[in-house]
A and B are shown apart, each in its own frame.
Chain A
Amino acid sequence: MSTENPAPLHKTTDGVGGHTVVNPAAAADAIPAVDPRLLVREQGLAGYLSEFGRKMKAGDLGSIPVVIGLIIIWGIFQGLNANFLSPENLTNIAITMTATGMMAVGIIFVLLLGEIDLSVGSVSGVSGAIVAVLSVTHGMNEWLAILAAVAGGALIGSIHGFFFARIGAPAFAVTLSGLLFWSGAMLQILGSNGTINLDSDGVVGKLTTYFFSDVAVGYALAAVAVVGYFLGSFFDARRREAAGVPSRPMGEILLRTGLLAVFTFGPALVFNQYKGLPLAVVLFILALVGTDFLLRRTTFGRQVFALGGSVEASRRAGININRVRITVFAIAGTFAAIGGLFWASKIAAANQSAGAGDLLMNVIAAAVIGGTSLFGGRGRTWNALLGVMVITSIQYGLALEGIATPIQYMITGAVLLATVVIDSVTRKTQKTAGRA
């Protein structure tokens, strides 16, 4: 059975009639191995492309709309101001987006459950305040202060998770309370003087101001990523072939590796035109790789997706639902705290307005624009990267044009609405195509 060649399963469609080549092993039972009406993917690169086209029509758009949107946005702003796509501006966008992006990574976990966390903005403010008060006011070791802030974020998230999972309160209401409570807590921690300036040469200060000025670092990291991806895919395909299950054709692996090379060496080249690879971007990418691994390659990640798909099915499969829910909110809190550190580093201070304004909306927008569904069960943490690039590009473009905050808010709001509309329409299309 295991050595049976799966190839016959793939060479089945033959024009309109869908004539079926019967798997010889199954022929004895007179049952075709594959229902002739089923859509069967052809092998090789052509099959990959036809599958891609079919997915498009079925509303499974993936990242395509976002990438197109980003290109349009960049085109418009570049047309308005020739400095928009300069290495300096792109580097600034990349550094600024890491704070919102880190928080978006956390909220994607919550969105995958089909829930929402409205408190991430406030929690990020608390985190910045904790670091500032501990390290500046009380002179604590900065690493310890950072640890305390991140642990604080995890604890806050667990508290939200507890009320949601164990008490059964709606996550929306729990985290809405958290939104107010934790912004109050932040003001309380900061005390009367309001703003605490951070040492710009400290650990937190360096988060967003350190650059790997050696051009080799950027290229070396890009090379590591490309080679690592290729070897990973290659050995996975080899193992799949050995086990007799369908594997990615070599052409597809090379295509994907080539695309990855473009999207790693390209940015490295741009960063090296200015000050070099920013540390913040490296940390953000590491967070994306780590969380993507957690979600797609571990039991915990599978359980998160299962809960987003069907709570009842998860319960019957013996998944400890409360544990997963509390952990997910703790992760959201942790990343909110990390985002808060990046934010504090960016403005080199902890102040009373941290975590307020449009931050929360930007975080949710980044996650949803990137392609994470608000309905749960669909999304990847890489969505945060694309989404936050769109949001931050719009902010920087508008700022370059000197467009005031009120208009910026309205435009960000409109973009979020447009994204939610796309999400809902996609879901409808997928339902009619039988894919949701």
Chain B
Amino acid sequence: MSAAPVLALRGVSKRFGAVQALTDVELEIHSGEVVALVGDNGAGKSTLVKTIAGVHPIDDGVIEWEGRPVSIGKPHDAQNLGIATVYQDLALCDNIDVVGNLFLGRELKRRGVLDEVEMERRARELLTTLSIRIPSVRIPIASLSGGQRQTVAIARSMLGEPQLVILDEPTAALGVEQTAQVLDLVERLRERGHAVILISHNMADVKAVADKVAVLRLGRNNGVFSVADTSQEEIISAITGATDNAVTRRAARTGEARK
């Protein structure tokens, strides 16, 4: 693991009118590392991701990229640094085939005409590298399942060879097998040396693939845990901000019942 983190947030704050969405948030992420970003609804996960992606510029604090302070004012800045974001609504065109979607906005051309052959070859190569399984690269996105669409969207973000990939709830609304496919893909991104920020509500997913869990609560850091030696209950207490929560209550109740 390199000395300087790929991305580091130091004391980042963000306000929307009367709402203090983020307060002095710290976050570090190294290459080849999957950091899960968890928190309750309204904890500031999405806002934090959007500040990194350049959708909402930060008000206070410093964003460091490979140890150097940088300013990310618009989505383009983030993309130029090497940050790719896959949002929850995947932004794929249903009527266009997989190859067309992968290269949408950066089509390859040969003598001024779309180079379908080269795009298809590169698409197959990319999908094979990521072990993504889809029936054909020439069928419209509409024919794919939710999980396949998610993997295509992630693959699309990989075309720019980003150093950091941000995945916003990639497994929400997916079935068991599809979730497994996406989690496999996250692991493959890590193997290839990408840094990954994974937003998730699902503790099982987090435990399965993340190295570290950063908990946000009410726009503030509420602890960074190493997944290997933290129990799910500890993370949930950090999310809810109390030891008094559904899990502990149930544990207490079943404990009483046993007596």
Q: Which B residues from 93 to 108 make CB contacts under 8 A with A? A: 93-96, 100-101, 104-107
- Which stretch in B2-10, B64-72, B125-133, B163-171 binds the other chain? B125-133
Nearest CB in chain A: distance from B150 CB, A: 14
Minimum Cβ distance to chain A for residue B140 (Å): 7
Interface-located stretch among A31-39, A145-153, A336-344: A31-39
Residues of B within 8 A of A279 (CB): none
Instruction: Select from chain A the residue with minimum beta-carbon distance to B135.
Output: A38
Among A39, A314, A376, the residue within 8 A (CB) of B104 is A314
- CB pair B117–A319 under 8 Å, yes or no, is no
Cβ-defined contact, A34 with B105, below 8 A:
no
> At the interface, yes or no: A193 with Cβ under 8 Å from chain B?
no
A239:B117 contact, CB within 8 angstroms: yes
Task: Report yes or no: B92 in contact with A245, Cβ–Cβ below 8 A.
Answer: no
CA–CA, A310 to B142, complex, Å? 12
Closest to A430 in B: B142
Query: What A residues does B244 contact at CB under 8 A?
Result: none
Q: In residues 51-109 of chain A, which contact B (Cβ within 8 Å)? A: none
Does the CB pair B143–A434 fall under 8 Å?
Answer: yes
A2-B121 CB under 8 A given contacts A32-B133, A298-B114: yes
Do A435 and B140 form a contact, CB below 8 Å, given A297-B113, A306-B93, A310-B94? yes
Q: Per a CB cutoff under 8 Å, which of A298, A310, A376 touches B91?
A: A310
- Is B60 part of the contact surface with A, judged by Cβ < 8 Å? no
Could you tell me if B135 and A243 are in contact, using CB atoms closer than 8 angstroms?
Answer: no
| A377 contacts B95, C-beta separation under 8 Å | yes
Interface pair A308/B95, CB less than 8 Å apart: yes
Does B121 lie within 8 Å of A244, measured CB to CB?
A: yes
The residues in A between 34 and 51 inclusive whose CB is less than 8 angstroms from any CB of B are: 34-35, 38-41
A residues near B133, Cβ cutoff 8 Å: 31-35, 38
Inter-chain CA distance A436–B93, complex, in Å, is 11
Question: Is B118 close to A, CB under 8 A?
Answer: yes
Cβ-defined contact, A309 with B121, below 8 A: no
- A-facing residues in B197-231 (Cβ within 8 Å): none
Query: Chain B: which residue is nearest A241 at the CB level?
Result: B117
Query: Which A residues are in CB contact (< 8 Å) with B104?
Result: 302, 306, 313-314, 317, 319
Q: Which of A153-182 contact B (CB under 8 A)?
A: none
Chain B residues near A376: list those with CB within 8 A: 95
CB of B136 closer than 8 Å to a CB of A: yes
User: Is A302 within 8 A of B136, CB to CB?
Assistant: no
Bound complex: CA A316 to CA B131 (Å):
26
Tell whether A410 is near chain B: CB-to-CB under 8 Å.
Answer: no
The interface centre, meaning the residue of A26, A245, A306, A318 with most chain B CB atoms within 10 A of its CB, is: A245
B89 at the interface (CB under 8 A from A): yes
Q: Any chain A CB within 8 A of the CB of B24? A: no
Q: How far is the CA of A246 from the CA of B117 in the complex (A)?
A: 9
Which of B95, B117, B125, B140 has a CB less than 8 Å from the CB of A240? Answer: B117
Asked if A284 is at the interface of the complex by the 8 Å CB criterion, the answer is no
Per the bound structure, the CA–CA distance linking A319 and B91 in Å amounts to: 13
Contact of A435 among B93, B96, B101, B142 (CB under 8 A): B142
What is the CA–CA distance of A299 and B100 in the complex, to the nearest angstrom?
10
Do A243 and B118 touch across chains, with their CB atoms under 8 A apart?
Answer: yes
The answer to whether B96 and A306 have CB atoms under 8 Å apart is yes
User: In the docked arrangement, what's the CA distance between A35 and B105, Å?
Assistant: 29
Within the complex, what minimum Cβ distance (angstroms) separates B216 from chain A?
Answer: 25
Given contacts A299-B107, A317-B105, contact A245 B129 (CB under 8 A): no
Instruction: Output the nearest chain B residue to A245 by Cβ-Cβ distance.
Output: B120
Q: Given A245-B124, A434-B142, A435-B143, check contact A34 B135 (CB 8 Å).
A: yes
Q: Is the CB of A318 within 8 A of B142?
A: no
Q: Output the nearest chain A residue to B104 by Cβ-Cβ distance.
A: A317
- Confirm or deny: B109 has a beta carbon within 8 angstroms of a beta carbon on chain A: yes
Say whether A297 contacts B114, CB under 8 Å: yes
CB <8 Å contact, A378 and B114: no
**Once the chains bind, are B117 and A245 in contact (CB under 8 Å)?**
yes
Beta-carbon contact of A299 and B114 below 8 Å: yes
A377 B117 Cβ-Cβ under 8 A: no
Given the complex, which residues of A lie within 8 Å of B113, measured CB to CB? Answer: 297-298
| Interface pair B109/A299, CB less than 8 Å apart | yes
Which residues of A from 16 to 34 have beta carbons under 8 Å from B? 26, 29, 31-34
Whether A302 touches B107, Cβ cut-off 8 Å, given contacts A35-B135, A40-B135, is yes
Q: Give the residue name and chain of the B residue nearest to A36 (CB).
A: B133
A39 to B143, CA, bound (A): 11
A296 (CB) vs chain B CBs: closest residue: B114
Write the nearest CB–CB distance from B97 to chain A, whole angstroms: 10
Quick check: B121 and A29 within 8 Å, CB to CB?
Answer: no
Q: Whose C-beta in chain A lies nearest to the C-beta of B126?
A: A1
Q: Is A312 an interface residue (CB 8 A)?
A: yes
A310 contacts which chain B residues (CB < 8 A)?
91-94
A382 neighbours in B (Cβ, 8 Å) = none
Chain A positions 277 through 315: 1 when the CB is less than 8 Å from some CB of chain B, otherwise 0: 000000000000000000001110010011011101110
- Residues of chain B from 131 to 172 with CB closer than 8 A to chain A in the complex: 131, 133-136, 138, 140, 142-143
Which chain B residues lie closer than 8 Å to A245 at the CB level?
117, 120-121, 124
A312 touches B131 (CB 8 A): no
The answer to whether B94 touches A309, judged by C-beta atoms less than 8 angstroms apart, is yes
Q: For the complex, what is the distance from the CA of A4 to the CA of B125, rounded to whole Å? A: 10
A33: which B residues are within 8 A, CB to CB? 128, 133
Contact A313 to B135, CB < 8 A, known contacts A299-B107, A299-B109 = no
**Would you give 19 A-B contacts (Cβ < 8 Å), ordered by A?**
A2-B121, A4-B128, A41-B136, A244-B124, A246-B138, A298-B114, A302-B96, A302-B100, A302-B114, A309-B95, A309-B96, A310-B93, A313-B101, A317-B106, A319-B104, A376-B95, A430-B142, A434-B142, A436-B142
Contacts from B to A (Cβ < 8 Å): 89-96, 100-101, 104-107, 109, 112-114, 117-118, 120-121, 124-125, 128-129, 131, 133-136, 138, 140, 142-143
Task: Report A's interface with B, CB cutoff 8 A.
Answer: 1-2, 4, 6, 26, 29, 31-35, 38-41, 236, 239-240, 243-246, 297-299, 302, 305-306, 308-310, 312-314, 316-319, 376-378, 430, 434-436
A-B residue pairs, 9 tightest by C-beta: A317-B105, A309-B93, A377-B95, A38-B135, A313-B91, A309-B95, A317-B104, A318-B105, A243-B121
